[in-house]
Amino acid sequence: MSEQIKLIVEQLNKEPFKKNLNLITFDSLEPMQLLQTLNDVLSEIDPKQAIDLREEMPEQTAKRMFTLLGMLKYKPPGGMTEVSSFRQGLVMGSKPVVHSILNWLLQRIPELKKRAYLARFLVKLEVPAEFLQDDIIAETYHQNIHKECEQLKSSGFSTAEIRRDIVAMEEEKDQLIKRVERLKKRVESVSNHQRMLELARQLRVEKERHESLAHQKQEQKNQLFQAEQRLQRCQIQLKDLQQAAADEKPESIMKKLEEDIKFNSYMVSEKLPRELENTRKVVDYLQKVASEPAMSQAEQRELENKIRETNTEINHLIEKKMMRNDPMDDKLALFRQQAAIIVRKKESKMEELKEAREELSAVERELNMKSSQARERGGAELIRGEEFKRYVAKMRGKSSTYKKKRQEIAELKAEFGQSLEAQRGISGYSNTQEELERVSAIKSELDQMKGQTLDDISEMVKKLNSVIAEKKSALSPLIKDLRVLRQEHGELAPEFEQRKAQYDTCAAGLESNRSKLEQEVRTLRDETAQEESRYHHCNSMREIIEGQIQRAEEQSKISQSTDLQVRRTALREKYIANTAEQESLGKVLRQQVKQVRENQEPNMRQMKMWKDLETLLECKKQCYLKAQSQAPIGHVIQDVGKDMLVL
């Protein structure tokens, strides 16, 4: 309140009021003087309000002020619930009511001047319906000329720039007309100039047509190139899908489809409807804001103040609810908090899953692009998961076939040794010997090939065994440590789960206690701020009252003094003398006003007669000057009682 009074006194001491007030004198003003100050401010906004309140009835004053404040869109601090008390306070000159009005008016004087000036032109007139049938009257009645004028003023267009542009364009137009005329004169001297002009016109038309066809051709080329690129991408995607379908199993496809269905169902049933609802609310709010008329800075500040007040009320209500409903007493509070935490975690995981899917699709597109580039350059295709498994199975089958063939070769060797022992005593030893030599040669070749293959395989097996042994030796201590750690994990897992449940419970309780303490701290801070404001207000009021008491004591001492010179310096004596002087002056002024009103019609008639006389004399003067300027066509003979003109 003290800040408000300081602001009012500061504004009243400036131009154009110059009241020369301070906090004490302003606070000691009587209700009639306070209303007169308010009326002076209103008269600065609207000159029609310049009226002495002593010559006006209180009911008329209140009605006039109510009408002007309503036109200026002033809203009482208490809203519509305290309108009657506001009216009564204004009639009685209540300080809180008048101070709030002065504070509101003095902060918006330029804007309110403009509104008061425009109000008389923007008042809706009652026009009979039969007159509105005329199109001109209806158009004039419904047009918003002032609003269009303000929009043009704020649009940034400058009439000076437009005039300069118009002048420049007119000069260019004149220059072009002159050039065309010069060219026409030069062409007219050439034979068959009409034919040549027609050919030039046709040439220009054909050039424009050629440019348009070239532009269409370029657009069609671009469209063809884009279509080829789309076809190539579709072919690559089709091939990749076919390979993926050939590589994957039905179980993996079904699992992937189930995951996709779960993800899409969550997006459709929970996430997207929530986002859609939020977007609709934002759009509705923006449409509502766009449909409303533009607000001034004062209205905007007023709305911001209302928003702050509403937010403080909401915070107070929340604090009251928190104090009334203790979270520790509510058995479901812990489960609500845990459910909220789970929902937030679920939303964050779904966001992570969405980002991972987008990253996976981007990587797959990049892989498809790289593989298509590799195929175009003639490189070998990469072996993927299922193909690599089939390749390993094929190599295992070949290894088993090799082992079978090796066993058959050993059996043939044994049979060959038995046949040699049986054929030594048989006739035809030479033929058998030749056959045996031939078989042995073939066998030696096979043994050589087999040996080479076996050496390679054995060397590979040795290398693999050595690598496996090294890995086993390197992993053996880690495996031992892993077994110990698994055992420890199995022992600690139940304890961890128990401790984790205790931690979650304790964290939820601490979170509820923290929120409660935060609410209490906010409440105490608000109370502290209120008490500080009350302290400053009481301190300022105490200073004002002390000043008033001191002043009253001084005046009491002066009035009780026996010295007449000292008593004449008392404010009471001065005020009585000033009041008597002002009353006598008012009587003189009222008499003068009465005399002016009584003598108005005779004075107006006399002024009209003087104007007519002045007009007549001016006419005679003009006639005399005109007669002097003309040549004499005769002479005048004056006689007693008559004048004669002789030509």
pLDDT in tens, 339-392: 777 877 877 887 888 788 788 878 877 877 777 776 666 555 555 555 666 767
Amino acid at 236: I
DSSP code at position 570:
S
Q: Is 38 exposed, middle or buried (0-12, 13-18, 19+ CB in 10 A)?
A: buried
Cis link prior to 77 (omega < 30° from 0)?
A: no
CB 611 within 8 A of CB 619: no
Residue 581 Ramachandran class (φ > 0 left, ψ -120 to 50 alpha, else beta): alpha
Nearest Cα residue to 8 out of 32, 56, 40: 40
- The yes-or-no verdict on residue 169 having pLDDT over 70 is yes
- The yes-or-no verdict on residue 646 having pLDDT over 60 is no
Helix, strand, coil share of the chain (percent; to 5): 85, 0, 15
Question: How many other CB atoms are found less than 10 A from the CB of residue 119?
Answer: 13
Nearest Cα residue to 69 out of 34, 32, 98: 98
Q: What stretches of 561-599 show up as alpha helix (H) in DSSP?
A: 564-568, 571-598
Tell which wins on pLDDT, 162 or 328. 162
- pLDDT tens digits along 227-257: 888 888 888 778 777 766 665 667 777 777 8
Using DSSP, state whether 644 is helix, strand or coil: strand
Q: What is d(CA 322, CA 519) in angstroms, rounded to the nearest whole number?
A: 8
pLDDT score, position 611:
92
DSSP code at position 143:
-
- pLDDT tens digits along 89-138: 777 778 888 888 888 888 888 888 887 777 766 655 666 666 666 666 66
Residues in the chain: 647
Q: What is d(CA 450, CA 444) in angstroms, rounded to the nearest whole number?
A: 9
Q: Once rounded to an integer, what is the mean pLDDT over residues 208-215?
A: 91
Using DSSP, state whether 507 is helix, strand or coil: helix
Q: What is d(CA 90, CA 101) in angstroms, rounded to the nearest whole number?
A: 9
Nearest Cα residue to 25 out of 43, 4, 5: 5
- The yes-or-no verdict on residue 610 having pLDDT over 90 is yes
pLDDT score, position 264:
81
Tell which wins on pLDDT, 371 or 283. 283
Average predicted confidence (pLDDT) for the chain: 77
DSSP code at position 636:
E
Residue 503: both structure tokens together = 């931690």
- pLDDT tens digits along 513-527: 888 888 888 889 888
Nearest Cα residue to 382 out of 394, 400, 370: 370
pLDDT score, position 3:
76
CB environment 77-98: b (16+ within 10 A), e (fewer): eeeeeeeeebeebbbebbbebb
Cβ contacts of 254 within 8 Å, gap of 6 or more: none
Residue 639 bridge partners (DSSP): 642
CATH top-level class for 1-155?
mainly alpha
First to last CA, the chain: 96
